[in-house]
Amino acid sequence: MNLTWMAWTLPTAIFFITILVLLCGMAVWEYASPGGNPRVGVLRFETTRGDRL
């Protein structure tokens, strides 16, 4: 696979790895505790776990 078109610097790699780890963590959390009931926040609209992430 040719990935030379993108500048894969260390900060870029860390950014994408962080997003991947967060998504995997949220998937495991949702599997362990399904639902994630909506909450009403300071701005008075409902958000779920994924929205807040």
The closest alpha carbon to 3, from 13, 11, 18, belongs to: 13
| Per-residue pLDDT at 16 | 92
List pLDDT tens digits, range 21-39: 999 999 998 899 887 788 8
Kind and range of the H or E run holding 40: strand 39-40
Sketch the domain layout of the chain as residue ranges.
22-52
In this predicted structure, what is the pLDDT of residue 3?
A: 65
d(CA 5, CA 11): 16
Q: What is the pLDDT of residue 18?
A: 96
Confidence tier at 15 by pLDDT (50, 70, 90): very high
Predicted confidence band of residue 1 (pLDDT cuts 50, 70, 90): low
Predicted TM-score (pTM) of the model is 0.69
